[in-house]
Amino acid sequence: MTLWWIGDGLLFIIVAPIAVYLLDGVLRAAKSIVPSVDSIARTAAAGSKDLDAVPLLLTTQSQVEQTVAGVAAYGASLDVIVDDAEAGQ
């Protein structure tokens, strides 16, 4: 009979509080993850929206090609009309 009471005491005083403490810790950790995940989702959505201008890179690429072609033509013309530097410079 005494052992029964000792067992009940251990159950109430040690096992139950430890179980509740551990479970409460798991629940707190799970709750703390939710805001972080929401924040990551908002950031990822914003990052995706920032990349909406990426297709404009194709326009930039085309304009760079045209500009470099114009510079090349201009340089070729200058090469014809301007004398080269004297040798030794």
Partner 1 sequence: MSAPAVAMLIAVVAIVLALVYYLVSVILELRKISAGLDKVIGSVVEIIEKSAPVNDVVNNINGQLDAGVDLLEGLLVKKAGLTDSMGLIEGLYPGAAAAGLRNFPESKDVDPPRIGEVYTKGTLTLARLGREAPIATASPNGPAIRNPAYATTASRKLYPGGRPLEPEPLPRSPVIGTDSPVQYEQRDDIGKPRKRMPAQG
Q: What letter would DSSP give residue 13?
A: I
Lay out the site mask for partner 1 across 39-58 (x = CB under 8 A, - = otherwise). -xx--xx-xx--xx-x--xx
Amino acid identity of residue 46, one-letter, is A
Minimum CB–partner distance for residue 46 and partner 1 (Å): 8
Three-point CA angle 68, 71, 76, nearest 5°: 125
Tokens 């703390």 belong to residue: 32
Tokens 């139950």 belong to residue: 16
Binding site for partner 1 (CB under 8 A): 1, 4-5, 7-8, 11-12, 15-16, 19-20, 23-24, 26-27, 30-31, 33-34, 37-38, 40-41, 44-45, 47-48, 51-52, 54, 57-58, 60-61, 64-65, 67-68, 71-72, 75, 78-79, 82-86, 89
